[in-house]
Structure 1
Amino acid sequence: MRFQRILPAVILLMAPVAAVCLLFLSVMYGSKSISQETVWQAFFSFDAENVDHQIVMVSRLPRAVGALLIGAFLAISGALMQGMTRNYLASPSIMGVSDGSIFLVTLAMIFLPSSNSISLIVVSMIGSAIGAAIVFGLGWLIPGGLIPVRLAILGTIIGTFLSGLSAAAASYFQLSQGVSFWYNAKLHAMDPTLIKLSIPFAIAGLGLALLLSRSVTVMSLGDDVAAGLGQRTALVRVLILLTVVILTGVSVALAGKIAFIGLIVPHIARFFCGEDYQRIIPVSGVLGGLFLAFCDILARFINYPFETPIGVVTAMFGVPFFLYLIKTRGGGKHA
């Protein structure tokens, strides 16, 4: 369709403007309102003694930047998973990828308490790989296990199991408060240093995603068609999973588990872009970042002056959408 050729370019061109607007709103509004003048002063004439300047630069700006990045990472991960598996329910939070990351981070906090930030990111990525390997491995072993609804159920079961193990270990070793951060996704606790350290990993993941976008389009046609077109399906699948592991691992390391971004956004991008993942992947990244940043702002006003957990806000959109997909798409794979 013609609009599916034009809209992606329009979205990508308008995205920087929307991102700047959301960044500005995010640093201005919260439990304490800060004037526009104070925000400008914090940016251009920062005063370390000024509490409002500290709030803007140390807390709210990293939080807004983190929300944009994490939303983009999770949305791209979801798009890659949906394209690779032809499963419209695939996403990091449903397929156990995020839970695997949190599980290994919990073990690292228990047994390697002196781990630095880089180690945390690496551990998070390894955990993502373990979670994905368990879910997809069982899916391939169980008859009919790769059917979308069954794989989603399997992912939910494995994710819940890993979450239970994490909670039990944290409780036993008296780390419940520290580990709760990873499940409640406290964006307000974003660590600016961790954001800087995650940039090389993020660049690698985003670069791989863009390089693989054409291959994902071919994979979304089915393994037989992909093989017939000369696609090295096994290698491409490994590279896609590696990309998902990197992007999801970085996201969890930055802010904990955030659900439904990787489920919802790729479908919206697919509506705008058609079935070409060379368009779907960048548009998913843009829309994912904007969507999570919007949800983060919304979370501050639902129960003002108290903040609503970001997971509750994304679930408000995600749960109805999840049920809608099951109702309208049944148990088959997308084309």
Structure 2
Amino acid sequence: MLALASLFVGAGPLSVTALVHDPQALQVLIISRIPRTVAVLLTGAGLAVAGVIMQLLVRNKFVEPGTTGTNEAAMLGLLAVTLLAPGASILAKMLGAAAAALVGTGIFMLLARRIPPQRVLLIPLAGLVYGGLLMAAATFVAIEAGLLQYLGVWMSGEFSGILAGRYELLWLAGGLALLSYFAADQFTIAGLGRDVSLNLGLRYGQVLGFGIVTVSLVSSLVIVTVGMLPFVGLVVPNLVSRLMGDNLRESLPVVAAVGGGLLLLCDILGRLLRYPYEIPAGTVFGIFGALVFLYFLLGRRAGG
């Protein structure tokens, strides 16, 4: 229902009657509305799956690519490619961002190992500080190079510029989310901890490596295509976990569906709240995600 509504919501009026009689309306549907709807669904699903993988690997419910420095590292890599090779293709920029995100995520994992798992709030706090340092470095470089506007675009996740031919990389994010389903049992076991996983015969290092690569690739794909979208990978897995538990084999399809659906709902609201102008989907979801995140924190505190 949300996907169908998304096809007919926008600054330009579109109706079933217009699609039948007006060839231009059909072009708007094919070139703009369908790619935008698909891009939102792929982005939401990919970020939600990346978030739940990160939470299992770190063994902490309050982490996601946005609270571990992954997004900031990806932006730093994207900035480096823009400076060193201004004419690079989108694929080359994505690979540069993914490589930087991979390094940044690996450094965070090393930091997280030094923090006792019982200090639940200390791990995301350390990730936020780490991400802040990376963001400060990226901002300094952008100011010195006159690329601060680029950085602002990458920080604002929105879908108004999505057209046919400019979103197809997001299918890779959807493919990675689907591939993660086949490793769902391994991720669930990895969530029990390194020692338990090794005792159960799991190749913990390989699962950890695959998880970090998946999170880094999905994050870089999203940032290169639509920009940073906060809280999707944090809120959605927590909501689904409260209803279905932590068996990833059962919950992963629901995590992907809820991620895509919630982000699509926020994108539609962004188009309607100040019609015919748009509020970025990242802003709408950021407000919703911040409120839910605070509820999780305060609820946990009230419950001891």
Structure 2 length-normalised TM: 0.90
Q: What is the deviation of 1:259?
A: 0.5
Q: Which runs of 5+ in 2 are unaligned?
A: none
Aligned to 1:180: 152
- What residue identity is the alignment partner of 1:160? G
Could you list the per-position Cα deviations for residues 117-160 of structure 1 after superposition, in whole angstroms to 9, with x for gaps in the alignment? 2112212211221221232222224x548833112111111222
Aligned 8 A contact 1:202 1:250 in 2: no
- What residue identity is the alignment partner of 1:126? A
Aligned to 1:18: none
How far apart, in 2, do the equivalents of 1:211 and 1:95 lie? 25
RMSD: 2.4
How far apart, in 2, do the equivalents of 1:40 and 1:289 lie? 29
Could you list the per-position Cα deviations for residues 256-297 of structure 1 after superposition, in whole angstroms to 9, with x for gaps in the alignment? 100011011111222332221101222111111111111100
How far apart, in 2, do the equivalents of 1:238 and 1:285 lie? 21
Aligned to 1:280: 251
Aligned 8 A contact 2:45 2:258 in 1: yes
Aligned to 1:199: 171
Q: Which runs of 5+ in 1 are unaligned?
A: 1-20, 331-335
- Residue 290 (str. 1) matches residue 274 (str. 2): no
Aligned to 1:302: 273
- Residue 127 (str. 1) matches residue 100 (str. 2): yes
- What residue identity is the alignment partner of 2:263? L
Q: What is the deviation of 1:194?
A: 4.0
Aligned to 2:3: 23
Aligned 8 A contact 1:23 1:64 in 2: yes
How far apart, in 2, do the equivalents of 1:92 and 1:222 lie? 20
How far apart, in 1, do the equivalents of 2:29 and 2:219 lie? 27
How far apart, in 2, do the equivalents of 1:249 and 1:41 lie? 41
- Report the CA distance shift for 1:233/1:146 in structure 2 as closer, same or farther (over 3 A): farther
How far apart, in 2, do the equivalents of 1:111 and 1:148 lie? 40
Could you list the per-position Cα deviations for residues 34-93 of structure 1 after superposition, in whole angstroms to 9, with x for gaps in the alignment? 223234667xxxx4xx3x444433333222111100000000001111122220101111
Structure 1 length-normalised TM: 0.83
Aligned 8 A contact 2:48 2:234 in 1: yes
- Residue 93 (str. 1) matches residue 66 (str. 2): yes
Aligned to 2:30: 57
How far apart, in 2, do the equivalents of 1:146 and 1:131 lie? 23
Aligned to 1:16: none
Give the paired residue count.
303
Mapping of residues 1-335 of structure 1, within 5 Å: 21-39=1-19, 47=23, 50=24, 52-141=25-114, 143-144=115-116, 147-200=119-172, 202-203=174-175, 205-330=176-301
- What residue identity is the alignment partner of 2:91? I
**Identical amino acids, percent of aligned pairs:** 25
Could you list the per-position Cα deviations for residues 296-327 of structure 1 after superposition, in whole angstroms to 9, with x for gaps in the alignment? 00111222332112222112211122122222
